[in-house]
Structure 1
């Protein structure tokens, strides 16, 4: 707000100078005319000269590049919340238009495309789409469920753990939920577990692992933070997000009926269905293709953690190896890849890069700083990020738009660790992602048993998502501001 006020004062000053110059020239002209043949109207040269001041003021007030670029970002966010339009493509188009106005060459605009991020996301999702297509991930999940042996209270916790592990090892939160939700809801219907509790555990379990350094969202977050100078916080991001979702999910689970389920047992046989779209199986046993796939994934994880190999290039190599060994169907895997999300992230990043160049990012940072204090910033940011994320993509739109402001926001407020602000954005944005309007919530609703009232489940998940804006703000304030946990 301070920046906008300064801008308005500058425009007012220019207009005042224009008026003063006009009056001065009018008086001079009038004196000259009166000395010859009396008073006459303003001459044309005076009007033309003075109008230049007015046009300059009009240009400054209406055509400020930083403001226009920020408005382009706001349009992108609003569209992502309200219209079924690919936001990534919209962001690229808006970036080009703003660049045209600002005199920025199209090649400079295209230079903002995150090639490294694109290749990393494409490689990782290709590898794990192959693991999904050949049934490896389904078999792992099914085997784990059978270990619960009919304990109704343990089954939702097992689904949380499964979703967490699958999201952490590479597929990410959306893919993990897509794999786990159908079997989780099917089992819940057989055992008598409320679908709402299963949705909370599956969705939050997947989100708990979403910021793993080798998961797509973790790659996005760490890449953006590295681009703005926040390097070395990969495990902070992962652990802070994991702890938040674990604490809140298990707290809600036991408060909302989990304790009663702990005393309930299912004595009949539990049928665990396969995931639609993957390779069918009759006995669900592991064969050569599944062991090879698991070995390649394990080798990639070891290589990334202990030998520092590039995860994107390593994943591409692993995917090609699976194809050469005839244990992976790359065409089916390519169809399973989340291309919409990948291009959404890349498109918004192009627009954010332009904002950085035009000063729009600095203006956005000033607006955020104007709403916060050093003590309240984590709560304010967590609430704001969470509220927008209810209606928009957290990894595709919200975090790519918000995370670049972290260094400037920390400097503007003073006395705040950048990782505290970044963690508030990450946690606040993800805690709401089991709402009925989010991808994870929608996947759980789509898989719910036919005996479940869809309207009631929708309302419960919507209430959960909205309540998480407040819970997330309180959690981030307590952990990252008061206790300063996870930011050192």
Structure 2
């Protein structure tokens, strides 16, 4: 049964890649077939494996953030941030990175940021003579790092997955903060080194065209996003600082980002900041189905003791110094062909507590290794991030050349940076 579940996951990924159908549908069917006919479970027991909490949180948060997407607030914010860099053209890669990071951190999420920032960035590359690979890496790195922020889409998913494996919310918040910080630092170093290397080059030119100012609805959306982030972040931070304060601990235990997001979504509807139908249509239903569908199959594996078996094998057969590096590499290989959020983290996060317990390694380091490894190869043209960048290439750009550059230049650069970061983490933590 254990081998069958692993095979089902691999087959689901393969079928999803070949057919271009959401792999969540395949994993749901496999969970039903294996669970009911192989393990003797009732259909109702299989349905209960659907991760309701993760589904609710992602739905609620993206619903609220979609108001700023629907009324153009985040897209206009990107234009203003890039305009600020017009007098320092050599800093354009870092400007693209920070613009993408900020927009993703404000709640747009990885896929949404790439969807509207990648075309802008690649067009900028063509107009300003910036390297397509560096531009692609900058927007991809930024979308990933920003989405990893504790209150943004990926950060919320990471925290929910951690809580599902028994990690309390305060510790999960700390671990998620570590993931965000590391995935923010790595791109700054990589892009900073590129900027220093090309500091004397005058190839990049930026047009001096000022974006239009924000309208009233856009200003209100940005204000509400910032206000919600303050409310959601302030209590976990205060709880870490004043851990003995009963009132802060009580308030922190009652603050839930999903319910807070629903409140702010309702406020946005009452203020008529965007069309309700358009906001609902922007909810990432594909991502929700993929994450929850894979979650059902993984939950079935947990019932069989799959997680314990995998963690025991790693702890007993792999040298201690190699475990973190191996996990990083496994994540990177998986991410070449699949989604970090939909496949890699739901599959590997559950094994972390057991590995940490048997090996003595810091769980935060292992969680960071998984995310850093997965995001190192997320720019692969076979993965969702790389395919979005490839599809955003403007007319006149040879997509075959860009395909090879993404796969054989951007991925190796990202992987080397990830492995160096893992080695540094091992000595620091």
The alignment's TM-score, normalised by the length of structure 2, stands at 0.87
* CA distance 1:298–1:153, change in 2 (3 Å): same
Structure 1 partner of 2:403: 458
Structure 2 partner of 1:269: 207
Task: Tell me whether 71-80 or 146-155 shows the greater mean CA deviation.
Answer: 71-80
Structure 1 partner of 2:296: 350
Q: Deviations over 1:226-280 (max 9, x none)?
A: 121233143433444443454346425644x7643664276773458xxxxxxxx
**Number of residue pairs matched by the alignment:** 408
Cα distance, 1:212 vs structure 2: 1.4
Structure 2 partner of 1:138: 75
Structure 2 partner of 1:471: 416
Query: Following superposition of structure 1 onto structure 2, how do residues 384-423 of structure 1 map, counting pairs within 5 Å?
Result: 384-412=330-358, 414-423=359-368
Partner SS state of residue 153, structure 1: helix
Structure 1 partner of 2:231: 303
Unaligned runs of 5+ in 2: 236-251
Say if 1:128 and 1:171, in contact at 8 Å, map to a contact too.
yes
**Selected match of 2:139 from 192, 202, 207:** 202
The alignment's TM-score, normalised by the length of structure 1, stands at 0.77
Say if 2:89 and 2:205, in contact at 8 Å, map to a contact too.
no
* CA distance 1:82–1:238, change in 2 (3 Å): farther
Quick one: distance in 1 between partners of 2:207 and 2:91? 16
Query: Following superposition of structure 1 onto structure 2, how do residues 71-220 of structure 1 map, counting pairs within 5 Å?
Result: 71-100=7-36, 101-220=38-157
Query: Following superposition of structure 1 onto structure 2, how do residues 29-44 of structure 1 map, counting pairs within 5 Å?
Result: none
Q: Deviations over 1:398-452 (max 9, x none)?
A: 110111011122233x231222212111111111111222222222223333233
CA RMSD between the two structures: 2.4
Task: Tell me whether 95-104 or 356-365 shows the greater mean CA deviation.
Answer: 356-365
Is 1:260 the counterpart of 2:198? The answer is yes
Say if 2:373 and 2:415, in contact at 8 Å, map to a contact too.
no
Q: Deviations over 1:451-486 (max 9, x none)?
A: 3322111111111354157425622541232x134x
Stretches of 4+ aligned residues off by more than 6 angstroms = 265-268
Say if 1:387 and 1:469, in contact at 8 Å, map to a contact too.
no
Say if 1:240 and 1:423, in contact at 8 Å, map to a contact too.
yes
Partner SS state of residue 319, structure 2: coil
Cα distance, 1:69 vs structure 2: 3.0
Report which of the two structures shows the higher radius of gyration computed on alpha carbons. Answer: 1
Quick one: distance in 2 between partners of 1:332 and 1:262? 46
Say if 1:133 and 1:332, in contact at 8 Å, map to a contact too.
yes
* CA distance 1:347–1:205, change in 2 (3 Å): same
Say if 1:150 and 1:265, in contact at 8 Å, map to a contact too.
no
Partner SS state of residue 50, structure 2: coil
Unaligned runs of 5+ in 1: 1-64, 273-282
